[in-house]
Amino acid sequence: MSDRVTNILVVGIGGQGVMTATEILAEAAISLGHDVKKTEVAGMAQRGGVVSSHLRFGAKVLSPQIAPGEADLIVGFESAEALRWSHYLKPGGLVLMNTARLVPPVVSGGLYSYPDDPVGEIRARGLEVHAFDAMGIAKDLGDVRLGNSVMLGAIADYLPFSAEVLLESILKRFGAKKPEMVELNRRAFTAGREAVAKLKEKVST
């Protein structure tokens, strides 16, 4: 195992599964012997408030907090939140985001305005972005809650361990509660992974 620490910032809206996704990523890293630290900030998470979760893992991790400009990956479950946290990305890092627009209470309450084009604004900052409709994929599979596994599948090929390790952690988590969800989550994971692979193909052609 190298001394390098991997920094992943997962952001979104309460109810999307941000914290669960981070826990699964942490479990996958722990299964490989990594030292793991994570921390969450939830603003009325159960009511659709904004949620952010910091995850750091490697041979030795001292703090769970990711500093601005140091995230290897920003995983945005919601478009505006991905934009709002994009300054945390390090040079050469990647923003991987769901294009779904879920307006949080701070916007509907008039405190903030929702950006017209979150993906475009992130790209205008010179950052690499892979954006796709994770919620649409989950709906096509029959359950919007599968968006969590779709997003995890989407980042699977950008982690310092194999996609199979992450998939095993997902199936272990959901299969323990509802065995019938194992195959659905496997399909969701695969669909997310394939969606991002297609985006990469478009960029390279």
The string of pLDDT tens digits covering residues 106-159 is: 666 666 778 889 999 999 999 999 999 999 999 999 998 899 999 999 999 999
Domain at 83, CATH number? 3.40.920.10
Question: 18 lies in a domain?
Answer: yes
What pLDDT is stored for residue 41 in this prediction?
76
Question: 88 lies in a domain?
Answer: yes
| Inter-CA distances, 8 with 95, 122, 144, 152, 173, Å | 10, 17, 23, 12, 20
Question: 1 lies in a domain?
Answer: no
Q: What is the pLDDT of residues 148-163, one digit of tens each?
A: 999 999 999 999 999 9
Question: 76 lies in a domain?
Answer: yes
The number of domains in the chain is 1
Tell me how far apart the 2 most distant CA atoms of the chain are, in Å. 48
Placement of tokens 């929702």 in the chain: 114
**Structural domain span for residue 196:** 6-204
Cα–Cα distance between 106 and 143 in angstroms, integer? Answer: 27
Question: 95 lies in a domain?
Answer: yes
